[in-house]
A and B are shown apart, each in its own frame.
Chain A
């Protein structure tokens, strides 16, 4: 005798529901956006005080500042978004939904990505204002670098925050693991955007972009597998 059940929602339906939930929660509290957004501004102010506002230095330091700020914001966002699932153990309720892992991973990834990209929409213009760059970087390649880099960072951060969610000292351990693992992304980001900020070299970011894409692909696949292992005991 087969079960007479309502049709099981598929991946896209599950994803839509989870994503809607994550976004609603964030929009209602604006916890991450407010704290991390302010943090981004504070960072930019600090860096501008740190003597980088020199025209000579700006083009070489701005890329570093940009990607360090993104990495800082990433750690902030990843810890927080997964912490929500642990409060009230809402995650256990989600795990009782059959076949939810794919959608759960994707929704967490997209939420992180969305938050981080929103923060960058604030961060990047501020950076371009604060740093007296010799040339304005071409928009399209810069956006491509930011997108690819952020995607990889989120793929890694999502699985790391899921794994560390139940560990003591996770707020400290997450950056400790995230930053070394994200080194390829950060180097590619810094070097790639440096070619965009430099008036003399307007090419050469392509290689770095492909490194980022390789990173993205690897950590999306690994991330999905290991997310299941980390979340579902």
Chain B
């Protein structure tokens, strides 16, 4: 018996549309003696699309994990919709977060459809949502194959579908371009435009610095655990990075 069979009904209307969707205040994370993040503060509104760039080990993935409420920061706080503390309300907030992590977060033994059906079902979505997203990410023909045999690109597409199937209003993407061919990347940008139209806030961590900075409303540059630069930008991400770090490193 399925309890939830409602079809995906466009953008979900969450709380106040005004004010920032997330506000990060003096975020600090450390692992033992290593400072992963220090004093990171920024705000982001609905329908924004933020790029997060920085060298390896700068703290980008840690930031994403904190935003996804999967990691509890030792210092500072993250509020959602101006009032909800990510630490206290994580169980209600989690249903509104879509995450494409470094790993694909799916079961290799199951087919694409089964994986998607699992996550859709857990979030109270019916098979229509699954069909819709399988079609959308171009995996409809491969839906009945076990994920273990998928190429990196196909896994990445599935990860996207899995992250979006419950229509979150905060989408966190860790290196989503990895493994995607030119066509796949084009599809990703298309998808992100669509999300923007649905008032979804997107944070995208990438080291593909040849990407155009104009794709994003703002670019956050992180180096050695600190937010070095946060502004709208032109040129490529590589230019932004060079300007932000002053060519020091």
Q: Nearest chain-B residue to A86 (Cβ)?
A: B103
- A13 to B8 alpha-carbon distance, docked (Å): 19
Q: Nearest chain-A residue to B91 (Cβ)?
A: A98
Residues of B within 8 Å of A168, CB to CB, are none
Which interface residue of B103, B109, B122, B125 has the most chain A CB atoms within 10 A? B122
- Let me know if A21 and B107 touch, CB within 8 A: yes
| A59-67, A87-95, A113-121, A209-217: which lies at the interface | A87-95
- Let me know if A14 and B122 touch, CB within 8 A: yes
1/0 per residue A1-25: CB within 8 Å of B?
1011111111001100110010011
Give the distance to chain B from A93, nearest Cβ to Cβ, in Å.
Answer: 4
Tell me whether B108 is interfacial, beta carbon within 8 Å. yes
Contacts A8-B95, A24-B114, A100-B122 hold; do A93 and B106 have CB atoms under 8 A apart? Answer: yes
Residues of A within 8 Å of B122, CB to CB, are 9, 14, 17-18, 94, 97, 100
Q: Is the interface of A mostly helix, strand, loop or mixed?
A: helix
Tell me whether B123 is interfacial, beta carbon within 8 Å. yes
Residues of A within 8 Å of B95, CB to CB, are 5, 8, 96-98
- A99 to B68 alpha-carbon distance, docked (Å): 15
- Let me know if B119 and A25 touch, CB within 8 A: no
Contacts A1-B15, A21-B118, A93-B119 hold; do A88 and B104 have CB atoms under 8 A apart? Answer: yes
Tell me whether B3 is interfacial, beta carbon within 8 Å. yes
- Let me know if A93 and B99 touch, CB within 8 A: yes
Contacts A3-B13, A25-B109 hold; do A233 and B72 have CB atoms under 8 A apart? Answer: yes
Give the distance to chain B from A135, nearest Cβ to Cβ, in Å.
Answer: 44
- Let me know if B109 and A3 touch, CB within 8 A: no
Tell me whether B110 is interfacial, beta carbon within 8 Å. yes
- Let me know if B121 and A98 touch, CB within 8 A: no
- Let me know if A88 and B124 touch, CB within 8 A: no
Give the distance to chain B from A125, nearest Cβ to Cβ, in Å.
Answer: 29
Give the distance to chain A from B118, nearest Cβ to Cβ, in Å.
Answer: 5
- A28 to B148 alpha-carbon distance, docked (Å): 12
The 4 closest A-B pairs by CB, nearest first: A93-B105, A89-B103, A98-B95, A6-B124
Residues of B within 8 Å of A9, CB to CB, are 3-4, 121-124
- A17 to B127 alpha-carbon distance, docked (Å): 13
Which residues of B approach A to under 8 Å, CB–CB? 3-4, 6, 12-16, 68-72, 91-92, 94-95, 97, 99, 101-110, 114, 118-119, 121-125, 146, 162
Residues of A within 8 Å of B12, CB to CB, are 3-5
Give the distance to chain B from A17, nearest Cβ to Cβ, in Å.
Answer: 5
Name the contact of B71 in the complex, choosing from A25, A87, A233 (C-beta under 8 A). Answer: A233
- A83 to B68 alpha-carbon distance, docked (Å): 22
- Let me know if B6 and A87 touch, CB within 8 A: no
Q: What's the A-B contact tally at a CB cutoff of 8 Å?
A: 100
9 more contacts with CB within 8 A, not counting A9-B124, A18-B122, are A3-B14, A9-B122, A17-B122, A21-B107, A21-B114, A25-B107, A89-B101, A96-B68, A98-B91
- A94 to B162 alpha-carbon distance, docked (Å): 11
Q: Nearest chain-A residue to B162 (Cβ)?
A: A93
Name the contact of B109 in the complex, choosing from A5, A14, A28, A95 (C-beta under 8 A). Answer: A28
Can you list 6 A-B contacts (CB < 8 A)?
A8-B95, A89-B105, A96-B70, A96-B97, A97-B122, A233-B71
Q: Nearest chain-B residue to A101 (Cβ)?
A: B91
Contacts A21-B107, A88-B104, A88-B106 hold; do A97 and B94 have CB atoms under 8 A apart? Answer: yes
Q: Nearest chain-B residue to A25 (Cβ)?
A: B109
Tell me whether A55 is interfacial, beta carbon within 8 Å. no
Q: Nearest chain-A residue to B104 (Cβ)?
A: A88
Contacts A3-B15, A6-B4 hold; do A88 and B94 have CB atoms under 8 A apart? Answer: no
Contacts A8-B95, A13-B3, A90-B105 hold; do A24 and B124 have CB atoms under 8 A apart? Answer: no
Residues of B within 8 Å of A97, CB to CB, are 94-95, 119, 122-123
- A10 to B4 alpha-carbon distance, docked (Å): 11
- Let me know if B91 and A1 touch, CB within 8 A: no
Name the contact of B110 in the complex, choosing from A7, A13, A24 (C-beta under 8 A). Answer: A24
- A84 to B119 alpha-carbon distance, docked (Å): 16
- A29 to B148 alpha-carbon distance, docked (Å): 12
Residues of B within 8 Å of A88, CB to CB, are 103-108
Contacts A6-B124, A97-B123, A98-B95 hold; do A1 and B16 have CB atoms under 8 A apart? Answer: yes
- Let me know if A92 and B99 touch, CB within 8 A: yes
